[in-house]
Chain A
Amino acid sequence: MRVSRNELTASLKKAFEGLGFSVGDYQDAAAMVIWSQMHGLNGLQQLQEALPSLYSCLCLHCKLISNGDNHAVLDGQSSSILLCGSQAVRLACALARQHGCGQVQLNNCHNRRFIAQRLVSAAQLDSALVAYWVEGDSGFKFSIEPRAKQPTVSRYSPSPIAAVQSLMIFVGNDLASVEEKFSVAINPGPLTEITSPDTMIDSYNDMLEQGIEIDDNLWHELDNLVARVLVESTESSRAGAGD
């Protein structure tokens, strides 16, 4: 079936609320999923894969492990980027504002592709950002200019040095200097694929025009999660609507 962006956003917010996410978290998480889906990064499929662990998650966020002048290490406590991605990006941005550049290593986290929307959101506040992680035998890098609406996605293979389940975030005032910091810190190996912002824009426009295709089972599952935040209707409760 096809749904609209607004409809899916509303459903996702309530579904994440049903999973126990707090207000800021469910807004961010819904935005991450929608953005990934509409820009051709399979956000809904990732969500479907992530849901089993989200059902049993304790809504844990990042824990600060170490904090230098312009860099920090966080422990994601096996949580999803949907829960801890915002904190990590915000910390990197704050470090960059104070020191000209900021670098955060988030260890022990999952669903890292969802970080894209958080990068885009942070870029709107005049920051340039790069995020990098290793998944399977590939390295992925998302890089975005200040105020840009889409990142460039680069894929590398293979990448020998990144820690398992970690995500690196680099932030600065301009993309060239951020890329430089990235190059010093990480050797991602040979580049195998680039997804340009134009490809993402085409995907976005197409879904805006036609609606977003969603698997019936996932939609049904979201409905069940939404039901968790609804209150049983009684004669007395109808009075609370004006009867």
Chain B
Amino acid sequence: MHSPYRPTAKHSHSQSAVLPMRPASQVMQLNRLGSFHQSRLSFMRTLVRRMVRENWQINSTVFDLDTEGYGTAVYEVKAKYGTYSYVLFSHYLDPENRNDRVIADQWDLTMALCEGTVNAEQLEFLRSNVPKQEAGRVDSRVFVLSRGNRSGRTFDYVVDELAQGRQPDIDVIAEVGYLYRTTAAYGSGKLGMADWEKVRTKHRDFARPFAAEMFTCFMLRHFSLQHADYIAAQRAPKTAVKLDDDIKRYFGIGNSTGLGMAPFLINHPLLINQWIEQRETALARAIVAGADGIHADLLERFETAAGRVVQHLGEISTGDTQQNMSNGLVRDELQQLAQWLSAERDNIVASRYSWADLVQYAEQSWHIETQEVINTMLIELYPELVDDLEDMMCVEEDQHLIPQMSLADLQALIEDKYDWALAIDFGQMESQGSFWYRSEEKMEPRLGQSNVDLGMEKQMPLAIGRMVRECYDQISGHIEQFPLQDVAHFILQQPNLSGAICRIQTMAQSQYGDIRENLVHSDVLPIHLLRCKLSFFGVSKFDPRSRLWVRNTMFQGAPLVSDFDKPFFDDWQFPIKPVLSKNTAPSST
């Protein structure tokens, strides 16, 4: 391999007042966004840090399940600023009817996160509506509505093993990584629930994006582990053992994510800008911190982290050829990195080699996915420089049109900020080969093939590049006749362009936010959109099932509720198989 090590004389860098942020032309490429991994700023990570730091008290006040594990559970959650209730209904589900798609109408578990303590009347109301999910209605006391399905591969296996007094085989668990997977977690006012603004302003414990939704999934994980223990003990009270805590930590929650997530990224450009800007700021801070050289102990931690990612990727089981190939390439490249770090550590320190050098080498020599893993690892090294950014992830999605801007300035703005959109040739048939639409089935977003599938005339306006192109062409034609006109007068004549102009003018004031890809190209890969958003959620183990949906794992490796009052090292990213002790005690209950 070419060595990342370049022992050349270097000038000392001082920390620049302006951080060396990566340009949007690099960051906002779809394939790069689709290579993002979770980081310290991901919502699961920040939620777990908060729960542990504030020692949230989580106890079941109702655990009314039959011997098969069907019934009702209610958990009271005492957080720093308030009390909440997590209400869960466990139902029998014929395996034939188990379906992860949005269009499903039955699930093994359904649950709701509510403000305050739930009384008997409210519990009955929830029992009548929560199991119906989209077909029911809840009220503004509810933050999140969610559901989960059992893993066909692990749930019964784990319960059987526990019932027979054995811990489950960790290799079997590694294949899947969870007992239940969630197929939706609705919040933000859907189905009558509390608006995000109410949650943000009234309930500080969940005043970060998707915090309540992530907590609901964390609680599903907590219940799933109790559920397996409970059913095993009911089935074989004399022989059953409880799951070992190390194994419990290695269980996450499965997740299936489809196209529903994709329009969100396009329709919330200011929020996406905010998230990516914080992540890029974190990366820039880490790189600047290593500008004058890297301490040996940091290098050692970095090398350990590389080894861990190699193992993590090696333990991922996916049938997707492309993902397998990608995981293999990243492993190879990280192994090269780890070997180099091990062999050259003293020279690296002595030569004042910087993280910027490494990042540059990676960009020139390794695959994008490896580059982004390295970036995540760098962010991980500097919690003291990064963690304050977790409070900067909110922004109001407030777009404003600037009516006094001259058309000439708007034209120049588009040429400057949307050069990527103007570079797309929409005259090519494949450039408009796809279209996005909402199906009448639960308004599920779908991707259609132009001139083949029904519904082109009802397509969603997600083709930002094409929208910019059309707007630019209209302006360019108009400006020849009215060279001094402003936007206000232009939209009197072209009112249908006001939405496009409003977005262009708003987004031109931010660095990130618009995804630089033609999202209606025949070969568009929506899975990159999903993965980008999921990385901000904090998931791991991406398992693409097609170019349109992906399975993944949430909270795998995270602390258990029973760990909250113990010393906590926030290092559960890239989970790996635990090393287990040989003996397990029989259950005493």
Contact = CB atoms under 8 A, between A and B. Distances in A.
B437 A231 contact: yes
Given A98-B404, A124-B400, A4 B195 contact: yes
Given A64-B489, A90-B403, A227 B190 contact: no
Contact of A27 (B137, B454, B499, B546): B499
Nearest to B526: A242
B308 interface: no
B488 A93 contact: yes
Interface residues of A, number: 51
Contacts of B502: 24
Nearest to A208: B198
Contacts of A3: 192
A25 interface: yes
Interface in B464-510: 486-489, 491-492, 495-502
A97 interface: yes
Given A2-B192, A22-B499, A236 B137 contact: no
B192 A241 contact: no
Contact of A5 (B189, B441, B501): B189
B447 interface: yes
B448 A237 contact: yes
A234 B455 CA distance: 11
Contact of B446 (A2, A28, A67, A237): A237
A172 to B, nearest CB: 13
A24 B197 CA distance: 23
B190 A7 contact: yes
A24 B549 CA distance: 30
A29 B493 CA distance: 19
B440 interface: yes
A158 interface: no
A140 B84 CA distance: 45
Interface string B536-550: 000000000110110
Nearest to B140: A211
B443 A230 contact: yes
A210 interface: yes
A243 B100 CA distance: 11
5 contacts: A61-B495, A94-B488, A208-B197, A241-B446, A241-B548
B458 A229 contact: yes
B347 interface: no
Most buried by B among A2, A3, A63, A240: A240
Interface of A: 1-7, 22-25, 27-28, 61-64, 67, 74, 86-87, 90-91, 93-95, 97-98, 121, 124-125, 208-211, 226-234, 236-238, 240-243
Given A6-B189, A233-B440, A236-B453, A25 B140 contact: no
B402 A125 contact: yes
A107 to B, nearest CB: 14
Contact of A241 (B101, B194, B491, B492): B101
Closest 6 CB pairs of A and B: A24-B499, A4-B189, A231-B455, A6-B189, A23-B499, A94-B488
B488 A25 contact: no
Nearest to A230: B440
A243 B495 CA distance: 39
B400 A121 contact: yes
B458 A234 contact: no
Task: Tell which of B195, B500, B502 has the most Cβ of chain A within 10 Å.
Answer: B195
Contact of B458 (A22, A91, A230, A243): A230
Interface in B310-345: none
Contacts of A61: 492, 495
Contact of B500 (A24, A97, A230): A24
Contacts of A238: 441, 446
Given A23-B500, A94-B404, A97-B404, A6 B188 contact: yes
B191 interface: yes
A227 B440 CA distance: 7
